[in-house]
Each structure stands twice: as C-alpha cells, then as structure tokens.
Structure 1
Amino acid sequence: MITNVSVKNWKKFDQQKEWSFDKGIQLIYGPNTSGKSSLLEAIYFAFFGVDEKVDGNPTYNSNEAAIVTVDFISNTGEKYRIIRSYKKIKRKEESFTLYKLVDGNEEFFSDNPQDAIKIYGNFEDIFTHIIFLKEGEIYRALSRMKSNLDEELAYLLNLQRFDVLRDKLRETRLKVIKKEKENVKKDPTFLSEKEINELNDKLNDLNEVKKKLEEEKSKFIDNRQTAQKKYSLTKKLRDLDSQKQKYGETIKTIRNKYENKESLIEFLDNEIESLENKYRQLELEYSKLSSEKAEKEGEKRRLNKLIIEIKSFKSSGTTTCPTCYQKVDPLILQEAMESFSKKVTKLENALSQLNYSIDTVNEEKRNISQKIKEIKEDLFELKNAKARISDVQEEMNEISENLNSLPHTEDIQYYSKQIQELEQKISETNVEIGTIEKKLSSSKQEGVFIDELEFQEKFIELVENKIAEYKDELLERKLDEIKSVIKEKWSEIWDKEIWSIEFDENLIPTISFKFKGTTIQQNLRSFSASEKILLSVILRAALIDKFLSVKTMILDDPSIFLDQESVKIAARFYRELIDKKSVEQIIMTTFDESFKELLKPEKVINLE
C-alpha cells in the first residue's frame, strides 16, 4: 500500500511537493494539465524507473535531477521508502535507494533495484497490465488484455515452470536416450548372455567357498572361547589355592603361638574364660582397696582438722575451751596434738601402701584385658581361616569339575592365528565377489536395455501429456474463478445478469457473454464503450482479488469515456471494491466534480 509520495523537479512540479495516502479511495482531483497523471507516473518511476509508462522528459528543469520518494507498506506489514532520481544531459543518469523505515527512521536496505525484489517482487508486468492503467488506456486495455490473457494467467500462476519441466525432459533425457541407443553396440559394459552366466556361476562358487570359510572360522571362534574359559578357570583355581595356603599359614602361626595345643579353639575359649574370671576377682580387690583408701583418707582429714584447731587454740593465748568453757591444761593439749600427728603419719604410710596395691591391681587388670583381646583376635582369625579354607576348597572342587567337563583344546594363540588366516581368506574372497558383482551390476544386456529405453520414452511422453493436462486444468479452474467474479460484479453494477462467459480455445480476441433470460450470445463488439471500460476494470479487480497480494489499484481518469449514467455505476462499483475489501487501496485521478461526489473518497488531493 502506498503511504506517501514526494517529488522535486518532476515534470510539472518544479518545487518540492509531498502527498500522503491511506487505505480506501484516494482521489487526485484537478483540471487538465494540473499534474494528476504526472503524480501517478512518479509512483511508477519510483518502482521501475523511466520507460514507456513515463511520457516525455520527466525533469522540469533538465539541468537538475528529478527526485521521487515513495513510502509503502509491504505485504508483510513492514514500512519501506524508495528514493529514485533521474537526470539526462549527455547520457541518462538514474539512482535508486531503498530504505527500511523503523520508528520513522531510515535504515539502508539496498541501492540495487534488483535487491528490492526481495521486498515488493518483480511485478512490473503485473503492475503495468493490471494495477496501473493510464489515461486513455483503460478502454484499450480490454483488447490488449484479451490477447494476452493466457500469458498473464500463466505468469500469475507460474505455469512456465511446467513448460520448463517439459522442455527439460525433451532436451536432456530424450537426447541421452537417443545417444545411448546409437552407442549401445560400442559400450564395453554390454555382456553376452554366456558371459553373464559364466560370471554368475563363478559368483555362486565364490559364495559357497566364503560360506565354508565362515563356518570354519565360527568353529575356531568357539574353540578359542573354550580355551579362554579354561585359561580363566585355571587361573582362578591357582588364585584360590594361594588363598587356601595363606589361611593355612595363619592357622599354623596361631598354633605355634600357643605351643600346638590340642583342641586349640576349646583351649582358647577356656583361656578367655579363666582370664575373665581373674579380671573380675581383680575388680573386686580393686573395689575393696578403694573403699579402705577412702576410709583412711577420711580419718586423716579428721585428725588434721583437730591438729589445726589445737594449734589455733594455742596461738590465741587463752586457757578456756571455747566449747565447754572450762580450763584446759596446755601440756594435755601438746600431748594430744603429738598423738594426733603420729596417727596421721601412720595413716599416710598405710595410704601409700594402699596406693601401691591399687596401682598393682590396675596394671594386672590392663595386662589381663590386653591378653583377653589378643586371644579373642587369635580365636577370630583361627575360626575365620578354618571357615574360608572350607569355602575355598568347595569352590576349587567346583572349578575342577568344570575344567574336567571341558573338551581338550589347543592354546589361545593357536586359535587366534587360525582365525586371522581365515579372515584374510574371507577378505580376499569378498574382493573377488565384489569385483564380479560390480561387473554384473554395471553390465547391460542389449535387448533388455533397448526395451528399457523404449519404456522410458513412452513414460516421458506420458509425463508430458500429464503435465499439459494439469496445466490446462489449473488454467481452467482459475478462469472459472475469474468468470465467477465477473458475473458477480457485473450483476452488481448492471441491471442484467450474466448466465455464462466463454473464451475461445486460444483465449484470444473472442470473449462472448450469454445473459440470463436470453439465448443470444453477445461478444465485445456489441458492448458499449462504458461496458467495455467497466468490464476491463472488473477483470483486473478479479485478477487482483484471486492472484495478487498487492491489493492496490491505480487508475488515471477512469471516467473519461463514460456517460453520466455509467459514471454513477462506476462510482458505486469502485466504492464497493473498497467496502467489500476486494482491494485495499484505489488511487485514481479525475477532473469530474460529479464523479468525485459520487465516489465518496476517503481522501481528496486537490491539484490546481
């Protein structure tokens, strides 16, 4: 959709001019020579440059460049700006720049018009034949459109891809087939039936040899696996015997430690019991000594307290007892203190002896506890060793039975060598087989190959016919869609309904119409000028509606050849194209005031 156009030094516009456009009917209104057509040509020039659509010299002042800027919204909804300039003094000079508009700011996209195809596509033919009709061309467009309708539909439907496919089939594959037919006798890959049979026999023999080699290899692999199993079991048997000897040494060491006592486990159990009884006796003795020690220490503390009290009484210088308030003889006090001191000394000697006895008991307890621990550890080792010897012996017996059940084999290296030699023979056989198979696969039987070539020729011919049929069917379907639109639009604007529309078989000049309620078939020659003009516009609206993503129509003075009644019909028709969203935007020019009022355009651009 076109959103903005500005020009400078373009045809009638010497100064900078700018116009904005929106959806709906955008009417450029003004008298003749006001520049209406020049404005439409500016839009064309921005997209495609100067050609026959741009009449005369596009510059107002030939010494300066004409500059046209067009803003538009792409089919994806993105905004772009084209700036194209033109200048011709000695030679034509034309520049082109395409920008992407992001938040109103220009971001450079390309200065190559070919790159702009990525945005709005290479639709110059569509633009000139369908979207943009200049003043005076709308009437002539119908006859030109009739003669080119098949080409335009083929272009819109991309039907040329079918022609390319058909030509490629004919020009490439058929030539190859013909050449192969001519060279079939010279081709060394062609073998006689006898040669092919001999190669097949040799191939069968080699496959049989390979099969026997594979079977022999399989046997050697089985024997090697057996030998590997025997080796593994023998090694495990040696390891178990080594463990058994280790446990035997453990038992022997423990026996020697206890002078080879008979019933050693029973002896050790009894020894532990005896030591534990002795330990309990020592604990009783320790308890007794500790009680006696506590008693003597209490007596000692009591005597020391009395001695301290006597000393305190003597040092105070009084002779009266603070407790009983009687006279106390100092000599008696001295004798009592000396007696108490002797008792304390005697108690200290007794405590020293008790401490010694307690230490002796504790030492003996520690020794017995350590002895019990050592005997228990030896007893555990002895029992564990005997149990493990039994388990190991049982496992050794089982392995020995397995070994005895296995067949006799050679050593592993022997089988590995045999397998390697067989693999080498199999590899050599595979090479021979591959050589023969390659020769057979690349060879051809003359008769079979010729039949195949003839089949391919028939198949290609069938494909060509199917391509042509599909192309015709596709074209017919699209023509039916166009006819449907024409019927609908025609019945909306004229007071007569089309019953059928027929194009001739070549889709050229004869387009005839049969109206409902009549048996008369009318062709274009019987149509009025107004009917022909509106039919041309209807056809283009149908093409835009059914084929194009560009929903814009540009018309230069479409009312110029219409009578007053047709002007009303045309205005209503253009209005309905917009209201029913058949097209999104119609940019048109007119100098007809009544046509302008009838159109009810969304926007009017007045040119003086």
Structure 2
Amino acid sequence: MITRLLLKNFRQYRGTHEVVFQPGLNLIQGSNDAGKSTLFHAICFALFNYTPVLGAATQPLITQGELFTEVIVEFTALATGELYRLTRRREGGRRGSTQFSLEKRVGDHWETVVSTAKGSKEIDLRRELLGILKFDKRAFLNAVYSQQKEFVRLVRGGVEVKKEIDALLGMTIASNAALCFKELSKEVDEKIAKEESLRKLLDEQVKTRNTYIDSIRRQAQEIMEVRSKLAEAGLKLASVKKVHDEILTVKRSIDGLKAAITQMEKAFLRLQQAKEGLEGFIEEYGSKESLLTLLKSEQDRFHTTEEELKRVEGEISRLRSALDGFRKSLGYVEQTLKERLDVSSKTTCPKCGQPVDPLIVRAEVEKLEKQWKDLKNELDKGLEEERKLEAKRRSLVEAKQAISERLSSLRRDVENIEKLEGEVKRYQVEFEALKAGLEDRVKEVEEVRAKASFKLMNYKPQIASPLLKAPPRDVDLLESAYKRIEEEVIREKGVWEERLNSSRRSLESKLNEQRSNIKLLKDLLGRIKETQAELAKIGRYKVAKEGFMRIQLAYRELEEALKSQLLNLLAIKTYFWYTRLVGEAKYVGLRINPESYELEVQPLGFPEPQPVKSFSGGGIETVFALAMRFALAEILGLRDFLLFDEPTDAADTKNRDAIVNVMHEASQFFNQILLITHHGVGVEVAAHVINVSYDSARKSSLIEVEA
C-alpha cells in the first residue's frame, strides 16, 4: 500500500508537494490538465525510471526553470507490513542520470537496502521491488496501473496485447520450451546431415594414418644406420684427440725448453750489459778506490769552506751591529746640533725661557760638529769593511755550491757503481740458475717423447719418427718435426669432426622428421577418435530426434491446454467483475478469442459472442476493460494497491455510479485503490479525497486534501 507521495519540481508541480494516501478508495479529482495523472506518472517514475508519456526520457520531467526533480514514494509490503521509502532524483542537464535509494524503516530510523550512492544498479532495485511488491514493470503497466486513454487496450486484443497477457499469465513457458526443443531438433538435423561427410573423412584419416605409420617405421631404420655411423665417427675422433693430446704434451715440453733457452740468453745479455756499464763508470776514475779517495778529499774541502763561511758571516753580523750603533749616535748628534743652532740666533731658549749666552752656545756647537765628523769617519770605515767582508762571503758561498755539486756528482757515480755491481752479481746468479734449469728441460723433453712414442708410432710412424729421433737440444728441428705431425693430426681431426657433425645433423634432421610425423600421427589419431565420437553422437542424435519430436508435440498440447484454461479463467474472472460493476447484466457470457485475445461478449438474444468494441452506449467497453483489469490483478495475486486513471469517462451515469461503488467494495479486497475521476464522482464512498488544481500565478499544480 502506498502511504505517502512527495514531489519536488516534477513536471507542473513546482516546489515541494506532499500527498498522504489511506487504505481503501482514494479519490483524486480536479479539472482537466490540473495535474491529476502526473501523480501516477511520478509513482511510475520512482518505481521504474519510466513514465507513460515520455518513456525512458527523464530530463523533461524537471519543472521548467528548475535544476532538479525528486520523487519520494513510501509504501508498505502487504506480506510483512514493513514500511519502505523509495527516492528517485534527476539532476538537470541532458547528460544527467537518475539516482535512487531504497530504504527500509527499522525502529526509529531508515536503513539503506540499495542505492546508486553505494554502487547499486537499476537491476538491483528492480529485483528488490519484485520481492517486496510481487510485480515487475510489465505487471505494473498492464494490471496495477490503468493509464488514461489506454484503458480499453487489453480488451481489443492484438499482437502486443497477446504477448503481454501470455507473459503475465505464464503461458509462454510451454511455447518457449517447445521452441527450445524445436531449435534442438534443427541442431540435431544439422548434425545428422554431416554423417556422410564424416564417414568419408574417417576413410581419408585412416589412409593417412597408415601412411604415417609406414613412414615412421622407415625413419626408425634410417635413424639406426645414422647412429651407427655417428658412433664410429665418435670413436675415430676420440682416438685422434688422444694422439693430439700426446702431441700437445710434447709441444709443451718443447715450448718449455725453448723458453728456457730464451730466458738464459736474455739473462746472459743482461749480465754483459751490466758489466759493460760498470766498466764505463770505473774507467773515468781508474778504480772504485780512486773515486772514493776523491770523494773524501772533496768532502774535507767542503767542510773547510763551510767553516770559513761561518766565520765571515759572524764578523759581518758583529760589524753590522756596530754600524747600527754609529748610525744611532750620529743621528742623536745631528739632532742636538740642529737644536743648538736654532737657539744660537735667539736671546732666550724657546723651551725653558732662560737667557741664551752666545759664546757658550757657540762652544757647544763646535764641540758637536767635531763629534759628528769623528762619528761620520768611523761609520764610513765600517761600511768599507762591510763591503769587503760581503764580497768574501759571496765568494765562499759560490765555492761551497760548486763543491756541493761536485760531491753530488761523485756520490751518484758511487751509487751507480754499487748498483751495477749488485746487478752483475744478481744477473750472474740468475744466469747460472737458468743454465742449470736448461738441463732439466732437456731431460723433460726426453721423458715426454719416450712416453708418447708408442702412441705416435702406432698412429703414423713415418711422420712421428723425426720428432722422436731429433736431438733434444735442437729446438728448431724439434719444432719442425712437431709442426708436421700436428698439421696431419689437425687435418685428420677436422675430417672426423666434420663426419661426426654431419652424422649429428643427419640424425637430428631424421629425428625431427620422425617427431613431426609422430606428432602428426598423434593429432590424426585424436581427430580419428573425434570423428568416430561424432559418428557415435549422430547415432544418438537420431534416437534423440524422435524423442524431441514427441516432446515438442507434448508441449504444444500443453500450451494449448494451458492457454485454454488460463484464458477461460481470465474470462470467468472478467465476467465475475463485470457483474459486480454494472447494476444490471445485459450480457450473458464472454470469452477471449484464443487467436487475437480480443474480448468477445454475448448480449441477451445473441447466439454467439461478438467483439466488445462493436457495442456502444453506456461505456460498456470501458466497463469490461475495468473488469479485465480486476480479473488480471486477482489472478496475479496483486492485492496491495491499484491505480485507475479516469476509467469512468465513457460510462453513463448509471454504470459510472456502479463502477465507483464496486471500486469501493474492491478496495477491501485489493487493500487500496487510487482512482482519478471528475469532480464529485465517488465522493460519497471514498475513504480519502484529494483535490488537484493548477495555480497560474505560481505556475504550479496544487494538492489539497478534503476534510
């Protein structure tokens, strides 16, 4: 049962408008275009995001000039009595989408069941509503909600009506099942038609299988032959490799001997070079002892010069100290003399103010002048002495530097001689050691040749003999003999390696070919098995086809029986409600045409039923349409609420009053009926009256509940 409807900016309802519905018959009345039908459209929009006039288009539902529309429907579940609230909102803009939220009242608060805010889809909402209200969109539009001007559509039949009624009453179950088995029969026929081609395919596959088997057997024999050649080449190559290893051992001993000779020659050359260098240094001085004596003499001369230099530098230092004293005394005398000369021309002393005696001052000036001359003579003598000592110091410094350079040269020569003497000794020891080691290398060559002689002579004695008989110290002859036999071994080794690789390539090629044929054979055997299985299936399909034909026939019979019974039930229920809706029944029977689903009625005095649309007067077609709506709702078990949009338009006064009275009674059976009528029709029996009007000044429909 719908308990409350809230509209916000929905079509001509600008702003917020609320309607509260009651159990029983709820009468909605008002003038044309006041907005009565819009209330039902709002309910339809909230439930299914759809309206009869605009279909799935939702943007035009927003009141002109507003930014959004929102509809809230509160309803109770008939089975449980639980209260639900469904909110659907559409924001403005052509690309906007509707948002919904279904909530359940739990205690004193609402709990969300599904919501777009939580990621729910429209299908989730439809599933929840079906569980609560027990109807889907098809049942709502054909049984619950009777639209204005679409009221008589069901009784006039037609392809679309037939499809809707079949779906509502479940009559499509049998036909759908029969159709499924018909499609299965077609598929079976298609598979059976493949039998002949499958048998031809199987014959070709068996022939190909035999060809593969013969080829694999032949390849197995060829692989055995190649493997035999491969083993022979491997043994030959291994034998040649062993000979090569012996030759390499001999070569390593020869290389060792050659390296020892080279090292000894290099050591002897280094020894000779060191001796020649030593003799070159000693030749300049006669002997090492003469060099050392000369070095000692130069060292003594260096020390003597160094002592004399220190003495002269001391005298220069003392003389410069004395000269500094003369300069200070001379400066003092010059200053005093200047002061006395200044006083001599004055009568009083400028410093103390005492009278000046010219004679005394003159005597003092003469004394000071004599003292200054004596000091000046002593200073000049000292400066001359300083110049002489400085010249002598420079001479001694130059002599010391020359002696020092000479000493450095002599010391380097002594170091070089001692270094060369050490090198001569070291190279002599090295030479003697290498000379002794050379004999060991010669013995090693003899031992290695003796050890390898058996294998080499068994291999090719004509080329091995020179290597085995060459003198052990004749390295050139040994190398020449070795290279000859090595070239032969390498050549033969290459021959057998090529044969071995060729055999391997041949083996790999044949193995790959055999593997390919085996794989093809396995695949073919699998396909043969599949073909045989398909042929076996065809045999079963032939048996199944007969069963499918019997099942199709049974479902067709079931469909006809089910259709007959359900249409008969719908006709009986429709006639029952017809007798309730009219004051006096003028039609004694009715039926639903099984082909067109058109409602046919039989008036008094008529031998056969006729289409209801062929009768006029009193709005009889509308009465039967309403009766069929009640019948459908009852059969489908939809007893929660029904919506009727002006079903009494075409009925006469008598039938109209009867219709309203029956709706009042039916509201007890169907719990709640929302009825849109003209002003005054049914007010006496309505449980709740809602007046709808349009206010041009406010540009909005208005709702008023009648007390």
Counterpart for residue 172 of structure 2: 160
Is 1:72–2:75 an aligned residue pair?
yes
Q: Secondary structure at the match of 1:543?
A: helix
Q: Secondary structure at the match of 2:682?
A: helix
Deviation at 1:467, TM superposition (A): 1.0
Counterpart AA for 1:105:
H
**1:162-241 mapped onto 2 (5 Å cutoff):** 162-172=174-184, 174-176=186-188, 178-180=190-192, 182-183=194-195, 185=199
Q: Secondary structure at the match of 2:567?
A: helix
Say whether the 8 Å CA contact 2:590–2:609 is kept in structure 1.
no
Distance 1:124 1:444 in 2: 48
Distance 1:162 1:14 in 2: 49
**From 75, 83, 86, the counterpart of 1:82:** 86
Distance 1:141 1:153 in 2: 9
Counterpart for residue 435 of structure 1: none
Say whether the 8 Å CA contact 2:74–2:83 is kept in structure 1.
yes
Distance 2:177 2:648 in 1: 45
**1:411-560 mapped onto 2 (5 Å cutoff):** 452-492=540-580, 493-496=582-585, 498-509=587-598, 511-515=599-603, 518-519=606-607, 521-524=609-612, 525-528=614-617, 530-549=619-638, 551-560=640-649
Distance 2:592 2:646 in 1: 29
Deviation at 1:137, TM superposition (A): 2.6
Distance 2:152 2:171 in 1: 28
Say whether the 8 Å CA contact 1:590–1:596 is kept in structure 2.
no
**1:235-384 mapped onto 2 (5 Å cutoff):** none
Is 1:18–2:18 an aligned residue pair?
yes
Distance 2:50 2:65 in 1: 15
Deviation at 1:120, TM superposition (A): 2.0
Residue by residue over 1:429-485, the C-alpha shift from the partner in whole angstroms, topping out at 9 and shown as x without a partner, is xxxxxxxxxx99x98898x98765433212101101111211221121111111111
Q: 1:570 to 1:147 in 2, by over 3 A?
A: farther
**From 676, 680, 696, the counterpart of 1:589:** 676
Counterpart AA for 1:100:
K
Say whether the 8 Å CA contact 1:139–1:529 is kept in structure 2.
no
Counterpart AA for 1:489:
W
Deviation at 1:174, TM superposition (A): 4.1
Counterpart for residue 107 of structure 1: 111
Distance 2:51 2:19 in 1: 23
Counterpart for residue 44 of structure 2: 44
**From 81, 98, 103, the counterpart of 2:102:** 98
Residue by residue over 1:160-210, the C-alpha shift from the partner in whole angstroms, topping out at 9 and shown as x without a partner, is 343443343333464245325524525869xxxxxxxxxxxxxxxxxxxxx
Distance 2:101 2:47 in 1: 11
Say whether the 8 Å CA contact 1:25–1:575 is kept in structure 2.
yes
Unaligned runs of 5+ in 1: 190-438
Distance 1:88 1:124 in 2: 25
Name the count of aligned residue pairs: 355
Percent identity over the alignment? 19
Say whether the 8 Å CA contact 1:68–1:83 is kept in structure 2.
yes
Distance 1:33 1:178 in 2: 61
Distance 1:575 1:146 in 2: 31
Counterpart for residue 206 of structure 2: none
Q: 1:593 to 1:51 in 2, by over 3 A?
A: closer
Deviation at 1:94, TM superposition (A): 1.6
Q: Secondary structure at the match of 1:593?
A: coil
Say whether the 8 Å CA contact 2:86–2:102 is kept in structure 1.
yes
Distance 2:44 2:172 in 1: 26
Deviation at 1:65, TM superposition (A): 0.6
Counterpart AA for 1:463:
I
**From 65, 77, 82, the counterpart of 1:62:** 65
Distance 2:72 2:183 in 1: 47
Q: 1:26 to 1:57 in 2, by over 3 A?
A: same
Say whether the 8 Å CA contact 1:554–1:586 is kept in structure 2.
yes
Counterpart for residue 130 of structure 1: 143
Say whether the 8 Å CA contact 2:138–2:168 is kept in structure 1.
no
Larger Rg: 2
Counterpart AA for 1:40:
F
Deviation at 1:550, TM superposition (A): 5.2
Distance 1:169 1:460 in 2: 6
Q: Secondary structure at the match of 2:84?
A: strand
Say whether the 8 Å CA contact 1:65–1:85 is kept in structure 2.
yes
Counterpart for residue 689 of structure 2: 604
Say whether the 8 Å CA contact 1:41–1:54 is kept in structure 2.
no
Counterpart for residue 199 of structure 1: none
Q: Secondary structure at the match of 1:595?
A: coil
Say whether the 8 Å CA contact 1:75–1:549 is kept in structure 2.
no
Distance 1:79 1:479 in 2: 36
Distance 1:32 1:444 in 2: 73
Say whether the 8 Å CA contact 1:84–1:95 is kept in structure 2.
yes
Q: 1:85 to 1:157 in 2, by over 3 A?
A: same
Q: Secondary structure at the match of 1:116?
A: helix
Say whether the 8 Å CA contact 1:490–1:498 is kept in structure 2.
no
Residue by residue over 1:407-432, the C-alpha shift from the partner in whole angstroms, topping out at 9 and shown as x without a partner, is xxxxxxxxxxxxxxxxxxxxxxxxxx
Deviation at 1:147, TM superposition (A): 4.7
Deviation at 1:498, TM superposition (A): 4.1
Q: 1:520 to 1:452 in 2, by over 3 A?
A: closer
Q: 1:94 to 1:459 in 2, by over 3 A?
A: same
Relative to the length of structure 1, the TM-score reads 0.52
Unaligned runs of 5+ in 2: 204-527, 694-707
Q: 1:537 to 1:594 in 2, by over 3 A?
A: closer
Counterpart AA for 1:591:
H
Distance 1:23 1:485 in 2: 24
> Superposition RMSD on alpha carbons, in Å?
3.4
Q: 1:443 to 1:49 in 2, by over 3 A?
A: closer
Q: 1:500 to 1:534 in 2, by over 3 A?
A: closer
Distance 2:600 2:545 in 1: 41
Say whether the 8 Å CA contact 2:571–2:592 is kept in structure 1.
no
Distance 1:140 1:69 in 2: 30
Residue by residue over 1:99-155, the C-alpha shift from the partner in whole angstroms, topping out at 9 and shown as x without a partner, is 122125211111332112222227212222222123333245543x55544312221
Counterpart for residue 564 of structure 1: 653
Say whether the 8 Å CA contact 2:588–2:602 is kept in structure 1.
yes
Q: Secondary structure at the match of 1:554?
A: strand
Q: Secondary structure at the match of 2:619?
A: helix
Say whether the 8 Å CA contact 1:74–1:119 is kept in structure 2.
no
Say whether the 8 Å CA contact 1:25–1:603 is kept in structure 2.
yes
Q: 1:502 to 1:594 in 2, by over 3 A?
A: closer
Counterpart AA for 1:602:
A
Distance 1:38 1:14 in 2: 12
Deviation at 1:538, TM superposition (A): 0.5
